[in-house]
């Protein structure tokens, strides 16, 4: 089982205090889902999902990937209320109760990480007027770039998930 997995979720954009760019996606350590101020047992169940499947240390797993793995979202009813969990995570990150990486992704990259791993996103290029189709390879490239940026920003440290974490489910 991989030790360090990261969870990526999109949310309503906001401008952080003294921030120059909006934040519309956030990455947290998967262990942040075990924080006592995250809706439980839903957070612990999502944490368990993040640590199963074809994952390796350092992977960033978007919420949309979990939705895909849960039969296109039909399985969320057995796992929990992901919307409330994401709202709780966003509150934790905004008040400094855990470490996070706030992202201001451009529209295409945000659409790709918010879509399942096999989805195609069609984008109108305003410069050429042509439609461009972006699929799994482009999504993987975006996640690879985010992974590289996350590890570079951490400088060898892991994201702090907060204190008083609850035990993980097995």
Residue 136 lies in a domain: no
Q: In angstroms, rounded to a whole number, what is the distance separating the alpha carbons of residues 121 and 133?
A: 6
The boundaries of the domain holding residue 16 are: 6-105+142-154
Confidence bin at 32 (pLDDT 50/70/90): very high
Residue 25 lies in a domain: yes
Angle between helices 82-94 and 42-50 (to 10 degrees): 90
Indicate whether 84 pLDDT > 90: yes
Spell out where 76-153 has E strands.
101-103, 121-124, 131-134
Q: In angstroms, rounded to a whole number, what is the distance separating the alpha carbons of residues 67 and 97?
A: 26
The pLDDT value given to residue 125: 85
Number of neighbours of residue 157 by Cβ within 10 angstroms: 9
pLDDT in tens, 45-66: 999 999 988 899 999 999 999 9
The total of structural domains in the chain comes to: 1
Residue 48 lies in a domain: yes
Residue 64 lies in a domain: yes
Q: In angstroms, rounded to a whole number, what is the distance separating the alpha carbons of residues 42 and 44?
A: 5
14: left (phi > 0), else alpha (psi -120 to 50), else beta?
beta
């Amino acid at each position: 089982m991989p030790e360090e997995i990261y969870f990526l979720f999109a949310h309503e954009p906001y401008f952080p205090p003294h921030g120059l760019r909006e934040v519309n996606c956030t990455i947290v350590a998967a262990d942040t889902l075990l924080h006592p101020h995250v809706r439980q047992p839903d957070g612990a169940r999502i944490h368990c999902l993040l640590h199963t499947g074809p994952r390796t240390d350092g992977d960033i797993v978007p919420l949309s990937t979990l939705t895909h793995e849960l039969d296109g979202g039909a399985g969320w009813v057995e796992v929990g209320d992901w919307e409330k969990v994401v709202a709780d995570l966003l509150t934790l990150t905004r008040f400094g109760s855990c470490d996070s990486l706030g992202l201001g992704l451009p529209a295409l990259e945000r659409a790709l990480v918010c879509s399942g791993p096999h989805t195609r996103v069609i984008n109108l290029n305003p410069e050429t007027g042509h439609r461009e189709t972006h699929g799994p390879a482009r999504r993987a490239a975006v996640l690879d770039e985010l992974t590289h940026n996350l590890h570079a920003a951490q400088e060898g440290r892991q994201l702090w998930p907060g204190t008083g974490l609850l035990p993980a489910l097995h």
